[in-house]
């Protein structure tokens, strides 16, 4: 009898396969973390590219202008330095990652260029009276508008933006005068002192601006007492003063020492160096801003410091070819044989306490090209360069 059993096997039940989620379906918390990693390196360009990948990545994240307004200071540049400006093309470097970036900013056509902060924020003036000050974030396009105008001051040495409430702009001029204003100030307030106590370098750190004077003392911006029950949120340019917080560690506050204040990584450093005819070696101290004291340092790790009486810079030497870590590059102005200004560098290895011979730019000294040929010369030029007010030069 033929078999009545079927020789065909029953079909296997279909396997349930989980739907494949694409990159566009990343959970929001992971999107936030990726964005925060980019912003931690101040890589706003990549952050903006990240947001344009898809709607799923764009919706949970704030755009730069939104973030600028929602979280003041989140997009404030801290790790970038403006190395060069050719008309509307600006060249920046990230001192922590070694990334160079050139940006064409047509908006500069509409303003007078005044200068830049140590973090790469651009200071501008309106081209018509009363020449009100503007601060441009070149990476996001946000413009902070100040009511005040700068006095004609020749040239700007250094500038800093502090994101307190309200935002404060500090500027150091050619005569060692320090000026500051908030967005609603009618004018800039000014700090002056007798020659021995005049500030020579300025550095923002935390929510304050710190100054080093000629005697090696440290001053910082502080809020003056404005009346009982008045809150810090009511601060203005009128309530800010410069107070001496740390007295000099230079013997007797000797004026024959150069003093440099520089933000390096997450620390604030004070470097003192004797003049060439005074015995002694450069000394590095960490500024303890919480306890108002100076701590002696025997090493600066892999940092490289470029210091001048105009501007100071700290970079991660491992990110820049030819830059020596643990080394201080002192940059000083000199005049060439044909009365052109050049610079020389004296390098000092902190760990070994060894000073290297002075390095001249042989081409510049011979009257040749003024273009830098090494990264150390690029950074030296940055530290020595000053910005002339275009309004004042007209």
Span 324-346, pLDDT tens digits: 999 999 998 877 667 766 778 89
Which comes out higher in pLDDT, residue 251 or 310? 310
Q: Which of 191-195, 256-260, 289-293 has the lowest average pLDDT?
A: 191-195
Cβ atoms of 194 and 215 within 8 Å: the answer is no
| Predicted TM-score of the model (pTM) | 0.81
**pLDDT of 142 strictly over 90:** no
pLDDT at 75 exceeding the cut of 90: no
Q: pLDDT per residue over 199-209, tens digit each?
A: 889 999 988 99
Instruction: Tell whether the model's pLDDT for residue 235 goes beyond 50.
Output: no
Q: What pLDDT, in 10s, does the model give residues 346-389?
A: 999 999 999 886 666 554 544 455 566 788 889 988 998 876 66
Q: Which of 213, 200, 276, 277 is nearest to 244 (CA)?
A: 213
3-class DSSP string for the chain: CCCCCCCCCCCCCCCCCCCCCCHHHCCHHHHHHHHHHHHHCCCHHHHHHHHCCCHHHHCCCCCHHHHHHHCCCCCCCCCEEEEEEECCEEEEEECCCCCEEEEECHHHHHCEEEEECCCCCEEEECCCCCCEEEEECCCCCCEEEEEEECCCCCEEEEEEEECCCCCEEEEEECCCCEEEEECCCCCCEEECCCHHHCEEEEEEECCEEEEEECCCCEEEEEECCCCCCCCHHHCCHHHEEEEEEECCCCHHHCCCEEEEEEEECCEEEEEEEECCCCCCCCEEEEEECCCCEEEEECCCCCEEEEECCCCEEEEEHHHCCCCCCCEEEEEEEEECCCCCEEEEEEEEECCCCEECCCEECHHHHCCCCCCCCCHHHHHHHHHHCCEECHHHHC
Residue 65 has pLDDT above 70, yes or no: no
Beta bridge partners of residue 263, listed in sequence order: 268
Greater confidence (171 vs 343) lies with 171
Tell me the range of 6-10, 30-34, 309-313 where mean pLDDT is highest: 309-313
Q: Work out the average pLDDT over 313-318.
A: 96
């Amino acid at each position: 009898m033929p078999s009545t059993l079927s020789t065909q096997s029953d079909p296997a039940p279909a396997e349930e396969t989980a739907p494949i989620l694409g990159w566009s379906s990343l959970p929001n918390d992971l999107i936030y973390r990726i964005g925060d990693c980019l912003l931690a390196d101040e890589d706003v360009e990549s952050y903006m590219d990240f947001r344009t990948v898809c709607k799923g990545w764009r919706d949970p994240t704030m755009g730069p202008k939104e973030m600028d307004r929602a979280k003041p200071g989140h997009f404030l540049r801290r790790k970038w330095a403006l190395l060069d400006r050719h008309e509307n093309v600006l060249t920046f470097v990230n001192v922590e990652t070694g990334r160079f970036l050139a940006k064409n900013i047509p908006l500069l056509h509409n303003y007078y260029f005044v200068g830049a902060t140590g973090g790469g924020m651009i200071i501008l003036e309106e081209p018509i009276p009363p020449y009100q000050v503007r601060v441009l974030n070149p990476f996001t396009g946000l413009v902070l508008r100040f009511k005040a105008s700068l006095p004609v001051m020749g040239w700007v040495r250094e500038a800093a933006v502090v994101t307190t409430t309200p935002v404060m702009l500090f500027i150091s001029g050619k005569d060692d005068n320090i000026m500051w204003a908030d967005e609603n100030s009618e004018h800039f307030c000014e700090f002056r002192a007798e020659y021995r106590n005049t500030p020579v370098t300025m550095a923002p750190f935390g929510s304050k601006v710190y100054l080093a004077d000629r005697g090696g003392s440290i001053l910082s911006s502080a809020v003056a007492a404005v009346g009982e029950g008045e809150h810090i949120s009511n601060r203005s340019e009128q309530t800010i003063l410069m107070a001496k917080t740390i007295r000099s560690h230079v013997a007797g506050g000797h004026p024959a020492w150069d003093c440099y204040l520089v933000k390096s990584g997450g620390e604030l450093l004070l470097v003192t160096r004797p003049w060439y005819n005074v015995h002694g070696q450069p000394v590095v101290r960490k500024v303890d801003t919480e306890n108002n004291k100076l701590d002696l340092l025997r090493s600066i790790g892999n940092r490289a410091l470029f210091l001048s009486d105009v501007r100071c810079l700290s970079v991660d030497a491992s990110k820049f070819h030819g830059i020596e870590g643990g080394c201080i590059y002192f940059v000083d102005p000199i005049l060439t044989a044909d009365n052109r200004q050049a610079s020389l560098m004296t390098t000092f290895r902190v760990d070994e306490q060894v000073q290297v011979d002075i390095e001249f730019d042989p081409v510049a000294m011979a009257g040749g090209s003024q273009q830098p040929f090494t990264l150390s010369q690029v950074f030296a030029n940055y530290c020595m360069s000053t910005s002339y007010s275009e309004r004042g030069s007209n």
